[in-house]
Each structure stands twice: as C-alpha cells, then as structure tokens.
Amino acid sequence: MKLFKLLLFLSVLFSCQSKEVNNKMLCETISKIGKDDQLYRKNKLMEDSFFKVFDSIIEKEGISKKEYIKFSKEKQLSYGKKIRKIVNLLKDKNQKKQDSLMSLQIDLDNQNTEKLIKIIEEYGFPDKEKLNCKEYIAPFLVFVHSQEKYWKKIEKVINIEKNKGRISQGDYDYIMWHLNGRKGSPINLKK
C-alpha cells in the first residue's frame, strides 16, 4: 500500500513538473513565433513613409499642422498628391529591398503557421493566462498573415477550437476575416 501511494505521489509530481515545463516551452515558442511574425514587417523600408514626408514638407514650408487643417480640401489634396509622388519615387527606389524583405517574411510566416497549427493540434489554442506567459503575442496574428495554401487547415483547426471553447470569438472572427479574403470588418459587429 505504501509503495502504491509513493508511486501515485511521484506520478502526480512528475505530471505537474511536465506540465510546467510544457507551459514554459510553449510560452517561449509562442513568444518567438510572435516576434518572428513582425521581424521584417517592422523594418523601416516596409513602412509607408507618407506621413514622414508630409511632416518634412510642411515643416520645410513653415506650415503648422493647425494651419494645414484650415486649408481647403483642394489644397490639402494637392499636397497629398505631391507627397504621394515623392513617396512612390522612394518606394520604387527601395522596391527590390522591400521585395526581398517580404520574401523572407513570407518564409517565416509559413514556418510560424505550421508551428502554430501543430501546437494547437497538440495543446489547444494558446491562452496567455493558462501559460502564465509574460512575453505572449496574440497567436491569431500569425494566422492573419498566413498564405492561402494553409487556409483550409487553419479553418479546420480553429473550428475545432471554437467548438471546444478554447478560442475567443474575437480571435476566431479575425482569423475568419483573413481566410475569407479580408472582406468587410474583421470583427462581427452583429453580436
């Protein structure tokens, strides 16, 4: 009897430690996936520099933002067209670099999508509180950047998670918005 209690105690102890290690590992993996999701997207070459050029031009011309707001719509549109031409010239100049960065990002997105699908299939949709994860980045963002070749698999996985109550309605709606071609609002406002 004492041996049985000891074995029972040890099995409970090891299963608790195993879950803690899995949670730590999952947290680290989810955090890395989240950081990789934004790795090349946050590069300055990938940004639309419209507002930086806008700020630079009105500052050079000595126009405050308050003055600019008082301009007629036609005059504001005229500035907007000039700025867009400049931004497009800059973009054309950097297009090869942007294309290279986007190619690298898509490769990462594919890897992240595959990892997240496996995690969800094995552990369910990641939950920040259950994982006790401080550097958690919302995993639904990974699926919102997924390539079309993964959409059927993602839809199957998130429908299972929705039926099991392990994914929030907002996360589900946002992912489905992407999977359905990003039409309308990402959040279902009819609820």
Domain assignment present for residue 1? The answer is no
User: pLDDT value at position 162?
Assistant: 96
Domain assignment present for residue 21? The answer is no
Domain assignment present for residue 3? The answer is no
Number of domains in the chain: 1
Residues of the chain under the 50 pLDDT cut: 6-10, 12-21, 191
Q: Which domain holds residue 61?
A: 29-179
Contact between 31 and 136 (Cβ < 8 Å): yes
Domain assignment present for residue 103? The answer is yes
User: pLDDT value at position 122?
Assistant: 92
Domain assignment present for residue 33? The answer is yes
User: pLDDT value at position 159?
Assistant: 97
Distance CA 184, CA 83 (A): 29
Tell me, yes or no, if the pTM score tops 0.85: no
Domain assignment present for residue 8? The answer is no
User: pLDDT value at position 80?
Assistant: 86
Domain assignment present for residue 148? The answer is yes
User: pLDDT value at position 15?
Assistant: 45
Residue 139, CA distances (Å) to 7, 51, 84, 126, 168 in order: 38, 30, 34, 7, 12
Query: Which letter does DSSP use for residue 46 in this model?
Result: G
